[in-house]
A and B are shown apart, each in its own frame.
Chain A
Amino acid sequence: MTASIPITPEIVAEHGLSPEEYARIQKLLKRDPNLVELGIFSAMWSEHCSYKSSRPHLKTLPTEGPRVIQGPGENAGVVDIGDGLAVVFKIESHNHPSFIEPHQGAATGVGGIMRDVFTMGARPIALLDSLRFGDPDHEKTRYLLNGVVKGIADYGNCVGVPTVGGDIYFDACYNGNILVNVFCLGLAKADRIFLGNASGIGNALLYVGSKTGRDGIHGASMASAEFDDATEEKRPTVQVGDPFTEKLLLEACLEIMKEDWVVGVQDMGAAGLSSSSFEMAERAGMGLELDLDAVPQREAGMNAYELMLSESQERMLFVVEKGHEDEALAIFKKWDLDVAVIGRVTDDGIYRARENGEEVVTLPIEAVVTGALKCDRPVQKPAYLAEVGTLDLSSKEIPARGGEVLKQLLASPTIASKQFVYEQYDHMVRLNTLVLPGSDAAVLRVPETDKALSLAVDCNPRYGYLDPYIGAQIAVAEACRNVVCSGADPVGVTNCLNFGNPENPEIMWQFQEAVRGLGDLCRFFDIPVVSGNVSLYNETKGEAIYPTPTIAVVGLMEDRSLHCTQGFKQAGHRIGLLGSTLEDLGGSEYQKLFWNELRGQPPVLDPKTERAVQRLCLDLIRQRLIQSAHDCSEGGLAVALAESCFTGPKPLGADLVLNSGMRADALLFGESQSRIVISFSEDALPSIESLAQKAGVPFAALGTAGGSKFQIRIDGNEFINEDILALEDIWENSLSRYGNRVAG
């Protein structure tokens, strides 16, 4: 029935396909497609599935290395960590759905990325969330924050995968487009990795998981279109998550993956049954025959179009060897999951789907998967850069005292403690979390070994706005620095590139520059990019978000007892700084809060200096010379020092002396890169000084931890002298007061 509707230009346009794309479909098929086929092309050629704008740029990223078992192109990347084990990880966006319905949007984002990881045969052991919200004073921000956090909590907590870290920024550029980027990491046997591959003629195609409903139809196309006022009416396309079914699916999949007759598996994510089945067949160079009537259905009367394009959650497609169908069905039924054999692998490269015995889809698989028109989108350096590129500091007054500035920075929801958020997440289940949320990076033990993994995610969008090339480099550098501060070597990167509308050449330029920055720094650091995701069209009524290339870094330490945290451990420990401070106020939180502007150049990043600082820090940790290490980031040196005071076993004050000819605000609140605050016992000082000198890294002893005051003197003058517990209260409770709507 749906197959017999004639295709008009209006129907083509409604499917988000251009006349050129439609002409290409006609040429590839040598006939007109029917409506079901058009729907499949529309979903598969959407930006979300085809990466048509981004692919030419992504190809330039370094994706190989001695540890890489699987790079980009599969459900997730895989990196060898020795002892026969591998980590499987990826970060993915769920931005558009989360803006429309924050709770379900975020929840299904968590569900989707976990499936990407366990389809590869890995048990998920950690989640991170990188969230971006609008101005805290914007009317929707609190609602969106609470909804997203609850969605993540409801889903992750129920499935029993700990959410161990993440980052949150607030900026008005996200008022109309929040970002929800979810990272998942799983652990697998290195020789038992499963791929999305439909090989072997006659092998069975198995549908498993929830029944198919009418939800999310055209989700993939929605994620590839800008928002307008009508978007908030698009609620029916938002999928609803069922974490309970996901948990059953997870356990059932890991059980069936012990069998040798499992050939391939893929999650039914964006574009549902279409993308999973087409991609699996394409990778194997095979064809498929499907009987759509066999697909488990939630509602009566669903047609082929709906079955092919539904984005109902918690569904997977397995290919199992012919003859083992009954064993497979028995395992899934043990876990009370809906399961059915819905098709077979053929050898002719053609996709055939029948509905009521009639063939309603007959498509050449390769043409659908790889045939999207390549978009060589034009790029143009944005005009705004010339206008915002300079920052004249001479006109800016330097505050006489820093206490009030520090308090306001600590209260900024971007800088304030995220305890309010992570306490809503189960961050302990599975007993691996060695370093709980609230330090630079989360540290997880690797069960049955002495190893540990360190995870961090980062991206400062304001730097990216001022210079997307530098912004992306800093995101990589900082995420690596976080992992290094915990005592681990970075071994792999995954990225989620969030940008505006790629049809705008200025946005495409931002994208190109960010990818170039990401690639250059990863090459320099020799860390492979093993998976990633692109989210474009983050734009409302022509207002694009700032470039946000979110970077997650996975680090490895061979001896987990050598992990390090950011808090000062005891009174009397000395405090020092690795790295040097420049006048980097462009893009800083200080500039935004006190001057209400965003201009100038982002902080300088010299890759060689960055590498030297990181290597020195790792050396110091491994020689057990330091007791804490904390990266300097938003809010600068003063905030980093204060955070280290708050986050030890007990809050400690500090007495610090700085000497510098620099502006006091730049010295304390500027965001120079490649700096790490450390603490150590007095007797380690000579060794630290000599190692720093050998490494060519500037090192300065700044003072001592202890007491009830946080005091900083600059060139002999007292600049900050505040009660440490009062500062801690501001930092620890500001976000919770905001989320709970408590005044104060």
Chain B
Amino acid sequence: MKCGIVVFPGSNCDHDCYHILKHVLQLDTQWIWHKDETLDTFDFIVLPGGFSYGDYLRPGAIARFSPIMKSVIDFANRGGRVLGICNGFQILVESGLLPGVLMDNEGQRFICKNLTLRVDNNNTPFTSQCAPGAVLKIPINHGQGRYFADEETLKQLEGNGQIIFRYCDEEGKTPETANPNGSIDHIAGVANANKNVMGMMPHPERCADPLWPEVDGQTIFNSLIQSSLAHS
């Protein structure tokens, strides 16, 4: 099993993803430099969090034109599994691999805290190890994570099961108080129609090391590993 982590200038959760995949989950994990133009063969690719290009202009807007992104888009279009976390999600949205946009948090402040997510589709390569409707404890860490899409797109997303995670309370309910950034419909993570590309604002790599009592983030990486095994 081989996975790759794309390093953009300004990525800063790249080391954390590497630590979880390489040292905790013992995968063959490779760095992918943004200036490279070709991709090795990988079972899956992670676009990590951070502030690629300082988030200047819009988060992800400049990274999306990095030399490597053409190969990442080709990889995705061929069915390769791509996980975008936080800034990685923003890059996937800017590149058109995922629908919608991520805007300034409603409260106009950056938010870093632990919260709970509900798994709304566990029939994907990213969530196959989660129980249906499972509530995961995973932290968020962003200033621009308010998901938005027009009504028609939302309807499509809902119909195709592309809404993978929603912000929720500890019981899995979605009252207004359980929406940290004003995302439409509480959306925290979405996939493309084929479910081989997913982006999420919360950071599963921040709760996947058994050093901490909370390791819910592991289920996402474990799902990716299981689905890659089944695939190969």
Which chain A positions have C-beta within 8 A of B113?
A: 423
Q: Is A607 an interface residue (CB 8 A)?
A: no
Question: How big is chain B's contact interface, by range?
Answer: 20 to 34
Q: Is A153 an interface residue (CB 8 A)?
A: yes
Contact partner of B10 among A158, A424, A434, CB < 8 A? A158
The answer to whether B15 and A430 touch across the interface, beta carbons within 8 angstroms, is yes
For the complex, what is the distance from the CA of A428 to the CA of B202, rounded to whole Å? Answer: 12
User: Which residues in window 171-217 of B have CB below 8 A to A?
Assistant: 203, 205-206, 209, 211-212
Stretch of A185-193, A240-248, A281-289, A723-731 with 4 or more beta carbons under 8 angstroms from chain B: A240-248
For the complex, what is the distance from the CA of A683 to the CA of B50, rounded to whole Å? Answer: 48
Q: Is A429 an interface residue (CB 8 A)?
A: yes
The answer to whether A159 and B211 touch across the interface, beta carbons within 8 angstroms, is no
The answer to whether B56 and A424 touch across the interface, beta carbons within 8 angstroms, is no
The answer to whether B16 and A430 touch across the interface, beta carbons within 8 angstroms, is yes
Which chain B positions have C-beta within 8 A of A293?
A: none
Which chain B positions have C-beta within 8 A of A336?
A: 9
Which chain B positions have C-beta within 8 A of A506?
A: none
User: Which residues in window 648-691 of A have CB below 8 A to B?
Assistant: none
Given contacts A158-B55, A244-B56, contact A425 B112 (CB under 8 A): yes
Task: Please give the distance in Å from A275's CB to the nearest CB on chain B.
Answer: 27
The answer to whether A428 and B206 touch across the interface, beta carbons within 8 angstroms, is yes
For the complex, what is the distance from the CA of A386 to the CA of B65, rounded to whole Å? Answer: 69
* Chain A 412-437 interface mask (CB, 8 Å, partner B; 1/0): 00000000001111111111001000
The answer to whether A157 and B10 touch across the interface, beta carbons within 8 angstroms, is no
For the complex, what is the distance from the CA of A505 to the CA of B109, rounded to whole Å? Answer: 44
For the complex, what is the distance from the CA of A154 to the CA of B50, rounded to whole Å? Answer: 12
Q: Is B139 an interface residue (CB 8 A)?
A: yes
Contact partner of A423 among B19, B51, B53, B111, CB < 8 A? B111
Q: Is A462 an interface residue (CB 8 A)?
A: no
* Chain A 220-254 interface mask (CB, 8 Å, partner B; 1/0): 00000000000000000000001111011000000
Which chain A positions have C-beta within 8 A of B12?
A: 158-160, 247, 429
Contact partner of A428 among B19, B107, B109, B139, CB < 8 A? B139
Q: Which of A154, A242, A422 has the most CB of B within 10 A?
A: A154
The answer to whether A424 and B9 touch across the interface, beta carbons within 8 angstroms, is no
Task: Please give the distance in Å from A595's CB to the nearest CB on chain B.
Answer: 36
Task: Please give the distance in Å from B75's CB to the nearest CB on chain A.
Answer: 24
For the complex, what is the distance from the CA of A434 to the CA of B143, rounded to whole Å? Answer: 23
Contact partner of B51 among A150, A243, A424, A428, CB < 8 A? A243
Task: Please give the distance in Å from A519's CB to the nearest CB on chain B.
Answer: 38
Instruction: Count how many pairs of residues, one from A and one from B, have CB atoms less than 8 Å apart in the complex.
Output: 75
The answer to whether B54 and A428 touch across the interface, beta carbons within 8 angstroms, is no
The answer to whether B16 and A431 touch across the interface, beta carbons within 8 angstroms, is yes
Q: Is A445 an interface residue (CB 8 A)?
A: yes
Which chain A positions have C-beta within 8 A of B45?
A: none
* Chain B 1-42 interface mask (CB, 8 Å, partner A; 1/0): 000000001101101100100000000000000000000000
For the complex, what is the distance from the CA of A431 to the CA of B217, rounded to whole Å? Answer: 13
The answer to whether B112 and A427 touch across the interface, beta carbons within 8 angstroms, is yes
Contact partner of A426 among B55, B107, B141, CB < 8 A? B141
Given contacts A158-B10, A423-B111, A424-B111, contact A243 B206 (CB under 8 A): no
The answer to whether B211 and A445 touch across the interface, beta carbons within 8 angstroms, is yes
Task: Please give the distance in Å from B54's CB to the nearest CB on chain A.
Answer: 3
The answer to whether B54 and A424 touch across the interface, beta carbons within 8 angstroms, is no
Q: Is A22 an interface residue (CB 8 A)?
A: no
Q: Is A335 an interface residue (CB 8 A)?
A: yes
Q: Which of A159, A244, A434 has the most CB of B within 10 A?
A: A244
For the complex, what is the distance from the CA of A425 to the CA of B141, rounded to whole Å? Answer: 8
Task: Please give the distance in Å from A205's CB to the nearest CB on chain B.
Answer: 26
Q: Please give me the residue from chain A that is nearest to B35 by CB atom.
A: A334
Task: Please give the distance in Å from B106's CB to the nearest CB on chain A.
Answer: 12
For the complex, what is the distance from the CA of A336 to the CA of B12, rounded to whole Å? Answer: 17
The answer to whether B112 and A428 touch across the interface, beta carbons within 8 angstroms, is yes
Task: Please give the distance in Å from B208's CB to the nearest CB on chain A.
Answer: 9
* Chain A 146-181 interface mask (CB, 8 Å, partner B; 1/0): 000010011001111000000000000000000000
The answer to whether A153 and B9 touch across the interface, beta carbons within 8 angstroms, is no
For the complex, what is the distance from the CA of A211 to the CA of B19, rounded to whole Å? Answer: 34
For the complex, what is the distance from the CA of A8 to the CA of B55, rounded to whole Å? Answer: 48
Which chain B positions have C-beta within 8 A of A159?
A: 12
For the complex, what is the distance from the CA of A244 to the CA of B12, rounded to whole Å? Answer: 11
* Chain B 140-173 interface mask (CB, 8 Å, partner A; 1/0): 0101000000000000000000000000000000
The answer to whether B206 and A248 touch across the interface, beta carbons within 8 angstroms, is no
The answer to whether B54 and A242 touch across the interface, beta carbons within 8 angstroms, is yes
Task: Please give the distance in Å from A548's CB to the nearest CB on chain B.
Answer: 27
For the complex, what is the distance from the CA of A429 to the CA of B19, rounded to whole Å? Answer: 12
Task: Please give the distance in Å from B52's CB to the nearest CB on chain A.
Answer: 9
Q: Please give me the residue from chain A that is nearest to B49 by CB atom.
A: A429
User: Which residues in window 80-133 of B have CB below 8 A to A?
Assistant: 107, 109-113
Contact partner of A244 among B10, B16, B143, B209, CB < 8 A? B10
Given contacts A160-B50, A242-B54, contact A248 B211 (CB under 8 A): no
The answer to whether A247 and B109 touch across the interface, beta carbons within 8 angstroms, is no
For the complex, what is the distance from the CA of A115 to the CA of B211, rounded to whole Å? Answer: 30
Task: Please give the distance in Å from B210's CB to the nearest CB on chain A.
Answer: 12
Q: Please give me the residue from chain A that is nearest to B107 by CB atom.
A: A740
Q: Which of B16, B112, B113 has the most CB of A within 10 A?
A: B112
Task: Please give the distance in Å from A593's CB to the nearest CB on chain B.
Answer: 28
The answer to whether B16 and A429 touch across the interface, beta carbons within 8 angstroms, is yes
Q: Please give me the residue from chain B that is nearest to A448 by CB atom.
A: B23
Task: Please give the distance in Å from A82's CB to the nearest CB on chain B.
Answer: 20
Contact partner of B9 among A244, A427, A431, CB < 8 A? A244
The answer to whether A244 and B211 touch across the interface, beta carbons within 8 angstroms, is no
Which chain A positions have C-beta within 8 A of B56?
A: 244
User: Which residues in window 422-461 of A have CB below 8 A to B?
Assistant: 422-431, 434, 445
Which chain B positions have C-beta within 8 A of A434?
A: 211-212
Task: Please give the distance in Å from A209's CB to the nearest CB on chain B.
Answer: 14
Which chain A positions have C-beta within 8 A of B203?
A: 428
* Chain A 127-161 interface mask (CB, 8 Å, partner B; 1/0): 00000000000000000000000100110011110
* Chain A 458-494 interface mask (CB, 8 Å, partner B; 1/0): 0000000000000000000000000000000000000
Which chain A positions have C-beta within 8 A of B110?
A: 153-154, 157, 424-426
User: Which residues in window 308-352 of A have CB below 8 A to B?
Assistant: 335-336
Contact partner of B209 among A153, A160, A431, CB < 8 A? A431
The answer to whether A158 and B54 touch across the interface, beta carbons within 8 angstroms, is yes
For the complex, what is the distance from the CA of A445 to the CA of B111, rounded to whole Å? Answer: 23
For the complex, what is the distance from the CA of A431 to the CA of B212, rounded to whole Å? Answer: 10
For the complex, what is the distance from the CA of A425 to the CA of B113, rounded to whole Å? Answer: 9
The answer to whether A244 and B51 touch across the interface, beta carbons within 8 angstroms, is yes
Task: Please give the distance in Å from A96's CB to the nearest CB on chain B.
Answer: 26
The answer to whether A424 and B13 touch across the interface, beta carbons within 8 angstroms, is no
For the complex, what is the distance from the CA of A245 to the CA of B9, rounded to whole Å? Answer: 9
For the complex, what is the distance from the CA of A150 to the CA of B141, rounded to whole Å? Answer: 14
User: Which residues in window 6-21 of A have CB below 8 A to B?
Assistant: none
Q: Please give me the residue from chain B that is nearest to A740 by CB atom.
A: B107
Given contacts A244-B54, A445-B211, contact A429 B10 (CB under 8 A): no
The answer to whether B10 and A247 touch across the interface, beta carbons within 8 angstroms, is yes
For the complex, what is the distance from the CA of A422 to the CA of B212, rounded to whole Å? Answer: 20
Q: Please give me the residue from chain A that is nearest to B139 by CB atom.
A: A428
Which chain A positions have C-beta within 8 A of B9?
A: 244, 247-248, 335-336
The answer to whether B112 and A424 touch across the interface, beta carbons within 8 angstroms, is yes
Task: Please give the distance in Å from B101's CB to the nearest CB on chain A.
Answer: 21
The answer to whether B55 and A429 touch across the interface, beta carbons within 8 angstroms, is no
For the complex, what is the distance from the CA of A653 to the CA of B213, rounded to whole Å? Answer: 24
**26 chain-A/chain-B pairs, Cβ below 8 angstroms:** A154-B110, A157-B141, A157-B143, A158-B12, A160-B12, A242-B54, A244-B56, A247-B10, A247-B54, A422-B112, A423-B109, A424-B110, A424-B111, A425-B110, A427-B112, A428-B112, A428-B141, A429-B12, A429-B13, A429-B16, A429-B141, A431-B19, A431-B206, A431-B209, A431-B211, A445-B211
Which are the 5 A-B pairs with shortest beta-carbon distances?
A160-B12, A244-B54, A158-B51, A424-B110, A426-B112
9 more A-B contacts (CB under 8 A) besides A153-B110, A242-B54, A243-B51?
A158-B54, A158-B55, A244-B53, A245-B54, A247-B54, A425-B110, A430-B16, A431-B206, A740-B107
